């Protein structure tokens, strides 16, 4: 039985990866920062009828060596998912240092333990941020960490991914590497924690966003992001490749209309123009972060690389949005996997 180490086991993407790997017959080592959260993981998996006898959990920290030998020992693959994420405007010390240190540390131990392949969770944030102003991007595009408009989160994803590719260049024939670059990851949570990225939907469902601002995101379901990680792990054609993941792009007004049409009455019915949204951003910290992107399209949705190379077949982003909205509305702590789950 092949074994996979998944870092960030309590995270939104990480736990979905573990769920699918266990159902596909892999043994899994999962890492977490807080040992007191072990029961939360086992309970969540049991609630979706996932067998857990081949799951072991280890306490690891991105910035310390302790625990990595134990967690990595006997593993064939590494899914390095763990990385800081927040919608708040934290600085480089919060995002960049642990993200880069975590990649370097994980890769050092992967080489030591002769891991066959690593799949790294990056982001479109490592693709979009540069002085080049265009609407459509693909895997050949890179964010510039020195760009004047780049935020700390995007810088962390860019520098962490660059550190990964630099490691492979420096340590040839150590292990294979594939990188997954998802857009905004949404979808049902396996625990009571909806995660940071689902807040984009939560604000609309709960009425915390009274008007639809002119902001567009590319969306992809967390279940399909987990599937992409596993497909990349399994498929040798993914070696040395990046995969941008986005099912489609939607404006907030599109999300609001979808929710209203499906009975979510607190979604906003009024859209505001760009100039007004920028003015309002002066009085709202979270909105201020989005100000440079108001009214702009930044998309990887035209890239079919994951579909063509991996056979990746994501569900509709609209389905994902409604799944999240239903979970929020009903206050469910656990969600049964969709019939389309490939795991």
- pLDDT tens digits, residue range 27-74? 999 999 888 889 999 999 999 999 999 999 999 888 899 999 999 999
- pLDDT tens digits, residue range 226-241? 999 999 999 999 999 9
- pLDDT tens digits, residue range 156-201? 999 999 999 999 999 988 999 999 999 999 999 998 788 788 999 9
Encoding tokens for residue 146? 């020195």
Residue 335 has pLDDT above 50, yes or no: no
| 157 annotated active-site | yes
Task: Determine the CATH number of domain 3-189+218-248+299-314.
Answer: 3.40.50.720
pLDDT for the residue 292: 85
Q: Which residues contact 103 (CB under 8 A, 6 or more apart)?
A: 80, 120, 160, 161, 163, 164, 167
What is the average pLDDT across 98-117?
94
Handedness of CA 134, 237, 226, 337 (dihedral sign): positive
Token pair 């003015």 in the structure block, residue: 279
Residue 338 has pLDDT above 80, yes or no: no
Query: How far is C-alpha 160 from the geometric centre of its chain's CA atoms?
Result: 14
Q: Quick count: other Cβ atoms within 10 Å of Cβ 173? A: 6
Q: Quick count: other Cβ atoms within 10 Å of Cβ 326? A: 16
In this prediction, residue 93 has a pLDDT band, given cuts at 50, 70 and 90, of low
Enter the DSSP assignment of 207. Answer: T
Encoding tokens for residue 25? 């017959």
- Full-model pTM: 0.92
- pLDDT tens digits, residue range 238-254? 999 999 999 999 999 99
Q: Where are the domains of the chain?
A: 3-189+218-248+299-314
The per-residue pLDDT of the chain, averaged, comes to: 91
Choosing from 38, 117, 155, 157, the catalytic residue is 157
pLDDT for the residue 131: 87
């Amino acid at each position: 039985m092949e074994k996979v180490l998944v870092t960030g086991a309590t995270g939104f993407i990480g736990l979905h990866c573990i769920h699918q790997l266990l159902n596909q017959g892999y043994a899994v080592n999962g890492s977490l920062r807080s040992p007191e959260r072990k029961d939360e993981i086992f309970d969540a998996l049991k609630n979706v009828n996932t067998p857990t006898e081949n799951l072991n959990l280890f306490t690891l920290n991105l910035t310390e060596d302790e625990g990595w030998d134990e967690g990595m020992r006997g593993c064939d693959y590494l899914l390095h998912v763990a990385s800081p994420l927040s919608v708040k405007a934290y600085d480089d010390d919060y995002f960049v240092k642990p993200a880069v240190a975590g990649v370097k540390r994980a890769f050092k131990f992967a080489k030591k333990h002769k891991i066959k392949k690593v799949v790294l969770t990056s982001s479109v944030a490592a693709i979009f941020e540069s002085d080049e102003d265009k609407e459509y991007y693909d895997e050949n595009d890179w964010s510039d960490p020195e760009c004047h408009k780049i935020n700390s989160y995007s810088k962390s994803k860019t520098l962490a991914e660059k550190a990964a590719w630099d490691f492979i260049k420096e340590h040839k024939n150590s292990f294979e590497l594939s990188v997954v670059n998802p857009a905004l990851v949404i979808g049902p949570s396996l625990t009571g924690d909806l995660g940071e990225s689902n807040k984009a939907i939560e604000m609309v469902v709960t009425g915390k966003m009274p008007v639809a601002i002119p902001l567009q995101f590319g969306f992809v379901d967390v279940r399909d992001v987990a599937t992409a990680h596993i497909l990349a792990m399994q498929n040798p054609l993914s070696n040395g490749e990046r995969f941008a993941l986005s099912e489609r792009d939607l404006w907030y007004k599109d999300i609001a209309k979808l929710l209203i049409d499906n009975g979510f009455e607190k979604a906003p019915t009024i859209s505001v123009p760009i100039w007004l949204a920028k003015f309002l951003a002066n009085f709202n910290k979270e909105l201020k972060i989005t100000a440079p992107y108001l009214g702009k399209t930044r998309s990887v949705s035209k890239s079919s690389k994951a579909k063509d190379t991996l056979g990746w077949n994501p569900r509709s982003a609209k389905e994902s949005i409604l799944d999240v909205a239903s979970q929020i509305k009903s206050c469910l702590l656990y969600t049964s996997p969709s019939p389309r789950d490939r795991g």
